[in-house]
Amino acid sequence: MIDKMVEVFKTNVAEFAQSKFLIDQLYHHFPESKINFDLDDCDKILRVEANNVLSNTVIELLRQNGYFAEVLL
């Protein structure tokens, strides 16, 4: 059994509609994953749980859609 990895990102996504659109986009790259935003958190957290989370892919996808993301350490 493969352990899933979890990557957490700080973003500037503020609206539910934006987060839903981005989650749909991310599922194209990570179809077997769990993806969610916590927009109530001050860092507008994006959490991606998958077999292999490619942080650069997540960051670039958000950037291409006009948003900021960085890995939260």
Domain 5-71 falls under CATH 3.30.70.100: yes
Place of tokens 């981005």: 22
Kindly report the number of other CB atoms within 10 A of residue 60's CB atom.
Answer: 13
Identify each DSSP E strand in the chain by its residue range: 5-11, 34-38, 45-50, 69-71
Q: Where are the domains of the chain?
A: 5-71
Q: What is the pLDDT of residues 8-28, one digit of tens each?
A: 999 999 999 999 999 999 999
pLDDT of residue 2: 63
Q: For residue 3, is pLDDT > 90?
A: no
